[in-house]
Amino acid sequence: MSHVLKKFARKIKSLREQRGLTQEGLALLCNLDRTYIGRLERMERSPSLGTLKKLSDGLGMSLSELLEL
C-alpha cells in the first residue's frame, strides 16, 4: 500500500467521524455510493480527481485542505 493512500484513508475516516457521519451519511453528502466510502477507508480504491472534489464539497472544505496529509 502506498503511504499516501494510507494517510488519505485515515484522514477521510477521521473527518467523517469528527462530523458524526456514517459511511452512508458521507456518501449521501458527496453523491457517492455508500460502499465506495468504505473502500476508500480500507485503501481498496484510489479516488479520482472528480471524487476528491465531491469529497471536499461534501465535507465542506477546499480540495487543498482535503489533500493536506
Say which CATH number the domain at 32 has.
1.10.260.40
Number of structural domains in the chain: 1
For residue 41, what are the domain limits?
3-67
CA distances (Å), 32 to each of 26, 42, 50, in order?
A: 8, 16, 11
Q: Encode pLDDT of 14-60 as tens digits.
A: 999 999 999 999 999 999 999 999 999 999 999 999 999 999 999 99
Q: Are 15 and 59 spatial neighbours (Cβ–Cβ below 8 Å)?
A: yes
Model confidence at 69: pLDDT above 90? no
DSSP per-residue codes, 7-68: HHHHHHHHHHHHTT--HHHHHHHHT--HHHHHHHHTTS----HHHHHHHHHHTTS-HHHHH-
Confidence grade of residue 1 (pLDDT, cut at 50, 70, 90): low
